[in-house]
Chain A
Amino acid sequence: MKQRARQLRQIFLVAMLLFVCGMFSITAYTLWRLHTDAIQSGLDISAMHTRAFEDFLTQNLHVTELVAANTLTQKDRPLAPRQIENNFVATLRHAPFLRSMSLLDERGRIYASSNPANVGIAVATRSYLPPAAATQEILRIGQPWAGRDFADGRASDARTPVEAEAQYFVPVTRTLLVGERAVTLLFALNPDYFVNHIAQKLETGEGTVEVLRYDGTLLMDTGPATSIGSAHEFIEQDMQLAEVESGKFEEIFGDGQHELTSYRASRLYPFVVVTHLHRSYALRQWQTEAKTLLGVVIPALLSIILLATAFYRRQMQIAAQRTEAERLQRINATVFDSSTESIIITDLNADIISVNPAFTRITGYRPEEVIGRNPRLLSSGKQHRGFYKAMWHDILQDGVWHGELINLHKNGSLYDIHMSITASRDGEGRLQHYIGVATDITERKRAERALRRESEKNKALLRNASDGIHILDTDGNIVEVSDSFCAMLGYRREEMTGMNLAQWDANFVGSELTRVFKQQFERKQRSEFETRHRRKDGTIFDVEVSGFPLELDGKQVVFNSSRDITARKRAEAELRIAASAFETQEGILITDADNTILRVNRAFTEISGYLAEDVIGKNPRILKSGHHDANFYKAMWSSIKSTGAWKGEIWNRRKNGATYPERLSITAVTDPNGCVTNYVASLADITMHKAAEEEIKSLAFYDPLTQLPNRRLLLDRLQQALVSSTRSGKEGALLFIDLDNFKTLNDTLGHDMGDMLLRQVSQRLGSCVRQGDTVARLGGDEFVVMLEDLSEESIEAAEQTETIGEKIIASLNIPYHLGEYEYHSTPSIGATLFNGQQQTIDELYKQADIAMYQSKKAGRNTLRFFDPQMQDVLNARTALESDLRKALEREQFSLYYQIQVDSSRRPFGAEVLIRWTHPERGLVSPAQFIPLAEETGLILQVGQWVLDTACAQLKLWEQDTFTRDLSLSVNVSAKQLHQTDFVAQVHATIRHHAIRPSLLKLEMTESMLQGNIEDTISIMNALKEIGIHFSLDDFGTGYSSLQYIKRLPLEQLKIDRSFVSDVVADSSDKAIVNTIIAMAHSMDLDVIAEGVETEAQRKFLLSHGCAHFQGYLFSKPVPIAQFEALLK
């Protein structure tokens, strides 16, 4: 193990080393490449600068040459020195790289210059490069001069270069051929201009630029401390200028400074531009990059190393853990295999994954037989149904379950185990396995069961012993007690502990109990006695106590056993009661199953006259009266057999031969198997009872005076008669007989005489009718005879009835002897026939009654049959009522309008009058149907219809100016007015039709004012508030109080037609009409006369102040179409 770890460590270290080395190599290579590139690029930049500066310098010098050419001549004519100088100054203005321009004479003196101070100064140009050539126009460069210009300057040489800070310039000559003559122009070249230019392109730290003449003389230098004019002798050996014009290389200066140097010779002039780019500057970018790269690579590398180390350590740790786990697993495996407890491991679905050898030993199953199967296969089915459910509940709830199980061995035998099942979860709490560990406890269980059986047997013995066993010490305190004794007394066992005998014994008191208890000890043998115990609830019961003294744990105790003898006592009592009960008022007869009499009691002897010895051993049929047929007994026995009992009335025969009714009740006594062992008959003599019953019956159904059937019995018989008539088809008849003037008899001779008469009448009636007919007395002098089984033909039946009726009249006409009086009486008879159930009993009564009254009407002492035409009248009325109802539905009503005119015969309105067009009867007069409508209440609906129709008409008229102001008078009945919601109804109707209410005039009759006048007034006032007008119809016919009329909110009085018709002729009518008109005027009411038929009437009325009329003179009531035609 350790070796392996060491090996692992070595591999890890080597791998890390290789990785780090590799990374370093890559980084170093990258940096080196970048470095090389930077140097190369530095050299390139240096060369680029060199070329740019050389180009700039060359070009400027070339410009100088070109400028020079134009300063000396104008149109090829030489200029005077003054003009030349002016040209020089003008040129300088645009050439900042020139400080001055001068012209040399042949002797090398300045004789013309932009700077007048220069004139006269001799300038030696011999050493200028390239050397002079007499015939060529060339530019030559001289040794730099210190100073601003030739005037204040001095030429330098290699030994005396220009001082570092001093101003200087570079002299340059240009030979020009003016005509044949060569002249020399001398320029003071301003090096500052070039240095400035270079300084702008090349930053100070970047490097320096030198301009050298071909001979190595330093012409210009951007470096800080320079000696212009000094000689750079190495130039020729370093730069083979003869061969190459340019080049670049790296060099190290004396101060150790690395420079990336490039040089380039001017393409026209003898100078070289040298650029020294500081290598440090060139590498500046590279340095930054290198820093960045290292800044990234090193931390990254360190991180990787750290991570790898951490990973390695973790792996090592895991490996150590795994080793430890494997060790534990091996231990577990050993435990698993060697455990004597059976171990089952299942997966989540409870399918077995693994079992140990102990499992095989206990269950008989080899691992391969159970792996992948459910442990259910071990189930014996002995556990109750909820067992497994509860088990799984515990496992899932608590994660563990312990319990005992009976399982099935492979060989089919059962065995007991104690099992614990644990739900095994992984680190995150997810259920992984169930692990069951089981111990075989079959042996233990067997022992336990044996013990329990023994104990239960004992317990059962004790429990089943119904006797209450209690062991008492010498003081009577409980030492030990059985469950049955506790149960007997109603105490719990723990309550009984320490109880004393005195607490439950209810028979003996005080010293008596002590004595009895003591005797038990003294007798030294079994003692028995009866006593009573008191239960916890206070109830007391009888017990028989048997006990004997014995010694228990060295103490004297008595072992008592109490037996509840309540049932025995009760049985004894019942027996006594039964014995006394047997000797009751009712006769009792007991037979065996074969109906042989076994026993009778004294009452039987009293009732039947037979002594016990007369009947015992005989069959009860000796008692038969012979009143009942075989069916009766058959039914009786059938009842006994099916229900075990029979009860009823039966006629039997006494010993002396007399029959008597008895109430008999027979009960079959059966043994527990249901077999009849005895019959017990209980019988009572009901002779007296029967007599009483008859008496009651006759009182209920018979008239006590005449003994004739009363109304009730008649009714009963009539019903039966109707039924039998239906069946037979034969007619029957009902005769109502009333004695004429019976009341007078009663009043004059007294009730006794009356009663006497009634009795005699009843006797005579009975003699007049056939057998089966019924004579009944309804009360007073009213008798009824009901005849049955008459002919099937009505006529014949009527004749038969008439015959009997006449017989009755004749019989009743015979004078009566009432005491000492002889009295003559006559009957009036009304008869009606009945057949089947066509008529109800009530109808029959009514018909007979009507007929009787007809007979009375006809002069008494006669017979009248009921006349069906009378009925027709009634029926017609009913029919009309029904038609009236339909009339509303079927819209058979219509309104007629009778015009109302003013004094100039101008129509101002109409009275609406209802008409009924009956589909069969034609126009029905209102006089015929209005009273009926009133009677039936239909008037309300009819009235509403009229109101509604009138309002609708008013609405129609509203659209025409001609009819707009016409009013309509509508008659209102008292019933209508007083219906509870009349005001609301009228209001609703008006609103519904949206008419002006003032156009609606309700006509009332005086008769309506009778009754609740206050009510009427309030209703009228309510309607008046809506705007309705009122007219009082038929005024003058009633007897209304003028006082009341004054209070009515009337608009109009209507003079009744009866006054109008005779107004011209009859003076009293004249007076009445005059009065009405005057009264109306005084009450500020309109007045209208109805029934105006003649011009004379109109004139009279008009002349007396009545200006409104209605009547046939103007028009009779007409349908609306005609009415509207009338208006036009």
Chain B
Amino acid sequence: MRKSTLLAMLAVACTLPTLSVAQDLPANRLERVLANKAVRVCIWPDYYSITYRNPKTQQLSGIDIDMATALGKDLGVAVEFVDSSFAKLIDDVVQDHCDIAMFAIGITPLRAKSLRFTQPHLASDIYAITTKTNRRIKSWDDIDKSGSVVAVARGTLHEPVMKDKLKAAQLLILDTPFAREQEVQSGRADVFMTDYPYSQRFLANADWARLVTPSSTYHITPYAYAMKPGDDAWHARVERFVSEVKRDGRLMASAKRHKLDPIVVP
């Protein structure tokens, strides 16, 4: 009761200057979201443990599905999920296909140019997946050898990183769904690169796959949510949300549920 009253007062206090500004400028995204009573969230539905749509049930699950739902709840609006991918990420956000991208987006310099990130909530190194029968790739160091084929998904942070890092091995950049897995399983590629969340969930399901972990820290990338730049109110609101879920334990609880607690950024 008191809370709602407070909220109402806050709303009025906030609305007054905003309204006067709104008459001059286009309404900011926060107001739009509140007005539409819906927040559109971009996700990559192939992203195990983050934003994964089970093809058998079409159910969404993952830590950022939980966080998006929490955000909607905090804002008091519905959540609309918009399918996206790392390849389409910047376009989808910038062209306003969604209000926010929430699928553990690695903060890369390239992305940072076009997008505005919240503080990171996860941070992951890079991992390789190969087949159990692959006799050539025994350790991380076996990857960057002549004759090796390394698969990455287009648009993922791995694409620029591996491009930069690989010296001898051939880099195979794929952009069809599950193409990386198919290439590795059929032997056309030796390994594909992925992150901690994906690898964990993938290994649990594919009995033919084997994880190759870097012998030392390879390339840790912080993950965060991305928005179109230039909307401070919206960014501030989301930033506050991230701080809150970290503080009140909702993030950690969800991470534990999806076995991601080792990579949560406190």
Contacts and interface: CB of A to CB of B under 8 A. Distances in A.
A96 B182 contact: yes
Given A99-B187, A148-B149, A195 B133 contact: yes
Contacts of A199: 132-133
B135 to A, nearest CB: 5
A99 B135 contact: no
A192 B187 contact: yes
Contacts of B132: 196, 199
B254 interface: no
A838 interface: no
A92 B131 contact: no
A875 to B, nearest CB: 113
Contacts of B131: 192, 196
Nearest to A93: B182
A310 B239 CA distance: 87
Interface in A88-110: 92-93, 95-100
B207 interface: yes
B134 A192 contact: yes
B188 interface: yes
A193 interface: yes
B187 A193 contact: yes
Given A165-B135, A196-B131, A200-B207, A148 B182 contact: no
Contacts of B186: 92, 95-99, 190, 193
Contact of B185 (A115, A148, A193): A193
Contacts of A165: 135-136
Contacts of A98: 186
A169 interface: yes
A167 interface: yes
A167 B187 contact: yes
B88 to A, nearest CB: 21
Contacts of A99: 186-188
Contacts of B207: 200
Contacts of A192: 131, 133-134, 187
Nearest to A164: B135
Interface string A198-222: 0110000000000000000000000
Most chain B CB within a 10 A radius of its CB, from A99, A148, A152, A165: A148
B133 A196 contact: yes
A100 B131 CA distance: 18
Contacts of B149: 148
Interface residues on chain B, size class: 10 to 19
A193 B133 CA distance: 8
B135 A196 contact: no
Contacts of B188: 99-100, 115, 148-149
Contacts of B135: 165
Nearest to A92: B186
A99 B190 CA distance: 12
B185 A96 contact: yes
A288 to B, nearest CB: 28
Interface in A847-892: none
B57 to A, nearest CB: 21
Interface string A174-202: 00000000000000001011011001100
A194 to B, nearest CB: 9
A96 B182 CA distance: 6
Nearest to A97: B186
A149 B183 CA distance: 13
Contacts of B179: 93
Nearest to A89: B176
Contacts of B136: 165, 167
Interface string B130-146: 01111110000000000
A190 B187 contact: yes
B256 to A, nearest CB: 31
Contacts of A95: 186
A115 B208 CA distance: 24
Given A92-B182, A196-B208, A169 B187 contact: yes
Nearest to A100: B188
A152 B149 CA distance: 13
Interface string B157-190: 0000000000000000000100100100111100
Interface string B62-90: 00000000000000000000000000000
Interface in B202-220: 207-208
Contacts of B147: 148, 152, 167
Interface string B100-141: 000000000000000000000000000000011111100000
A190 B185 CA distance: 9
A1086 B264 CA distance: 114
B202 to A, nearest CB: 15
Contacts of B185: 96, 193
Nearest to B178: A93
A165 B186 CA distance: 17
A115 B188 CA distance: 10
Most chain A CB within a 10 A radius of its CB, from B131, B149, B188: B188
A669 B109 CA distance: 170
A115 B182 CA distance: 14
A95 B182 CA distance: 9
Contacts of A92: 182, 186
A191 to B, nearest CB: 8
A97 B188 CA distance: 11
Contacts of B176: 93
Interface in B30-88: none
A199 B208 CA distance: 9
Nearest to B135: A165
A104 B207 CA distance: 35
A502 B179 CA distance: 155
A200 B182 CA distance: 19
A99 B187 CA distance: 6
Contacts of A115: 188
Contacts of B208: 196, 200
Contacts of A148: 147, 149, 187-188
Interface string A1040-1079: 0000000000000000000000000000000000000000
Nearest to B184: A96
A555 B119 CA distance: 148
A149 B187 CA distance: 9
Contacts of B182: 92-93, 96
Contacts of B134: 192
A115 B176 CA distance: 17
A1086 B188 CA distance: 144
A96 B131 CA distance: 12
B95 to A, nearest CB: 30
A361 B134 CA distance: 115
Interface in A1073-1123: none
A169 B135 CA distance: 14
Contacts of A152: 147
A89 to B, nearest CB: 10
A211 to B, nearest CB: 14
A768 B18 CA distance: 172
A100 B188 CA distance: 8
A94 to B, nearest CB: 8
Contacts of A195: 133
Interface string A64-100: 0000000000000000000000000000110111111
A199 B134 CA distance: 12
Contacts of A167: 136, 147, 187
6 contacts: A92-B182, A96-B182, A97-B186, A148-B187, A196-B132, A196-B133
Interface of A: 92-93, 95-100, 115, 148-149, 152, 165, 167, 169, 190, 192-193, 195-196, 199-200
Interface of B: 131-136, 147, 149, 176, 179, 182, 185-188, 207-208
Per CB-CB distance, the 10 closest pairs between chain A and chain B, nearest first, are A96-B185, A192-B133, A96-B186, A190-B187, A196-B133, A195-B133, A196-B208, A192-B187, A165-B135, A99-B187
Given A93-B176, A93-B182, A199-B133, 8 more contacts: A92-B186, A100-B188, A115-B188, A148-B188, A149-B188, A192-B134, A196-B131, A200-B207
